[in-house]
Amino acid sequence: MSTLAVPGLLQEVRRYGRFDVNACLSCGSCTVVCNLSNGSASFPRKPIRRALLGLKGSLCGGLEPWLCHDCGDCSVACPRQAEPRESMMTLRRYLIAQYDFTRLASKVLGSRIGEILTLSLVGLLVFALVLVYHLYYMKVPMTVSEFVSTEMGFEHMFPTIWNFTIVVLLIPAVLLLINTIRMHRLALPGNDHVKIPLRSYFVEATTAFVHMFSHTNIRKCIQGIHKIRWTKHWLLGMAVSMMLFIKFFFLDWFQTDLIHPIYHPQRWLGYCAAAILLYIPLDILVGRIKKRVEMHKFSEPSDLILPVMLLLVALSGLAVHVFRYLEFALTSHILYAVHLAIAVPLVLIELPFGKWSHAFYRPIALYFQAVRERALTEEKVDQPSEELVPAGVESA
C-alpha cells in the first residue's frame, strides 16, 4: 500500500462534508474517550491525521471510519472544538465514493444538487415507465387522458410489477457486492500488511451478520441517549429489512392483502413495520432540526434526504393501502405510481450510492476488521518470542 503523500487529498475529502480540523492539536483526547476505539483500530485521531498528511493509500485502506458509530462523545471531549465526529462522517462518505466503481457515489455524496438531481431523474424515469406501460404494453392500451381518469385496480400490473421489483432490488445488491470486493482490495491485508489466512474469513463469517442485525456497538457509546438510539436504530433496521424481505420473497402478499381478514398476521406485520417507518424517520428529522444532542449538531443534506425519503415512502405506501381498502381505485392507482417514484430512487440510488449504504458497509467493515485482528493475533502467536529463540539462531 502506497505511503506517498497525495497533494490535494484534504480538498478532495472536504467535497464530502465538514473536515475542519485546523484547530486540532493532536492531543488524542478524542481517541481516549471513544469507547469503540482500541489498540488495533485507533480512531478518530489516526484517520484524521492520515487525511491531513495526504496519505491516501492508508486512508482508503483503513476501516476505522466504519467502526465509528457517530455518537459525538469525541466532539464533546475535544478541547479545541475540532469536531472529530463530523470529520469521521465525512471520511465515511469519502470512502463510499472510493469503493464505488461507477463513480456515481461521488456525484451523489459530493454535491447536494447532484443527489437531488439524480433522485429526481430516477423518480421521473419511473413515472415515464408507468406511463409507457399503460399506453403501449397493456392488453388494451390507453390514451393519457384515459390513464388519468380510468378507475382501475392493480391486478393488470401484477406480473409486471413482480419482475420490476426483483430487478430494482437486485441492481443495488450486485453493485454493493462489486464495491465490497473493491473495499476488500483496499482494506485487506491492511495498513499493518498482515498476511490473512483463508481460515480467518470462515471463522469470522458470523461477525457481519451479528453486526448487521444487532448494531450492538452503538450501546458501547458513553452517553445514555445511545441506549435509546440503539433501540430506534434496531427497530428501523428490522422494519426496513422486513419490508425488503416481503417485497423480494412474498410480493404476492401485497397483491392479495385485501382478501385477508383484519386479524391476519400479514396485515399486522405490515402495519407494525409501517408505524416504525413513520415514527423513527420523523423522530430523526425532529432531532436534526432541533439539534438537541451532539450527533445532530451538524447535518449534511444526505443526513436529511434519507429520513425524508423513508417517511415519504411509508406515507405514500400507507395512503395506497387505505385508498385501496376504501375502493378508491383511481386515487390508489395514481398514488401507487407516486409511491414507486419515491421508493425506486430510494432503493436504486440511496442504497448503493448514498447514505443508506452505511447499513451495508459498516457490518462488512466490522467483519474485515475481525478477520484482520484474528490474523494479527495468530501471526503473533506463531512468531517465537525473543526469550524463546535459542542462542545462536539469530546470527545463523
Nearer to ligand SF4, 76 or 152 (CB): 76
At 3, is the secondary structure helix, strand, or coil? coil
Smallest gap, in angstroms, from Cβ of residue 376 to ligand SF4?
21
Q: Residue 192 CB, nearest distance to ligand SF4 (Å)?
A: 20
The residue among 75 and 316 lying less far from ligand SF4, judged by its C-beta, is 75
Kindly state the smallest distance separating residue 21's Cβ from ligand SF4, in Å.
6
Q: How far apart are CB 261 and ligand SF4 at their closest, in Å?
A: 47
DSSP H helices, the chain, are 9-14, 29-33, 45-52, 56-61, 64-67, 73-77, 84-99, 104-110, 112-132, 144-147, 158-187, 198-203, 205-214, 225-249, 251-255, 265-290, 301-325, 329-345, 351-353, 358-382
Of 220 and 264, nearer to ligand SF4 (C-beta) is 220
* Residues in CB range of 75: below 8 A, 6 or more apart: 30, 81, 83, 84, 85, 86, 294, 297
Q: Closest separation between CB of residue 222 and ligand SF4, Å? A: 8
Cis peptide bond N-terminal to 261, omega within 30: no
Sites of contact with ligand SF4 (CB under 6 A): 24-30, 34, 36-37, 43-45, 68-74, 78, 80, 82, 84-85, 88, 221
H-state helical runs in 20-154: 29-33, 45-52, 56-61, 64-67, 73-77, 84-99, 104-110, 112-132, 144-147
- 333/274 Cα distance (integer angstroms): 20
Place of cell 440511496: 350
Pick 44 or 61: Cβ nearer ligand SF4: 44
Q: What is the smallest separation between the CB atom of 81 and ligand SF4, expressed in angstroms?
A: 8
In whole angstroms, give the CA distance from residue 388 to residue 384.
6
CB nearer to ligand SF4: give 2 or 26.
Answer: 26
Q: How far is the CB of 270 from ligand SF4 (least distance, A)?
A: 34
> In the bound complex, what is the minimum distance in angstroms from residue 71's beta carbon to ligand SF4?
4
Closer CB to ligand SF4, 91 or 196, in the complex = 91
How far is 306 from 303, CA to CA, in rounded Å? Answer: 6
End-to-end CA distance of the chain: 31
Is the CB of 33 or the CB of 129 nearer to ligand SF4? 33
320 neighbors 150 (Cβ within 8 angstroms): no
- Residue 267's alpha-carbon distances to 154, 261, 310, in angstroms, are 18, 8, 20
Q: Taking every pair of C-alpha atoms in the chain, what is the biggest distance, in angstroms?
A: 93
Is the CB of 25 or the CB of 174 nearer to ligand SF4?
25
CB of 298 to ligand SF4, least distance (A): 12
Report in angstroms how near the CB of residue 245 gets to ligand SF4 at its nearest: 29
Exposure string for 102-140, b = 16+ CB within 10 A, e = fewer: eebbbbbbbeeeebeebbeebbeebeebbeebbeeeeee
- Residue given cell 390514451 in the structure block: 143
- Which residue, 82 or 126, is less far from ligand SF4 as judged by CB? 82
If the CB atoms of residues 214 and 266 are measured against ligand SF4, the closer one turns out to be 214
CA 322, chain centre distance (Å): 30
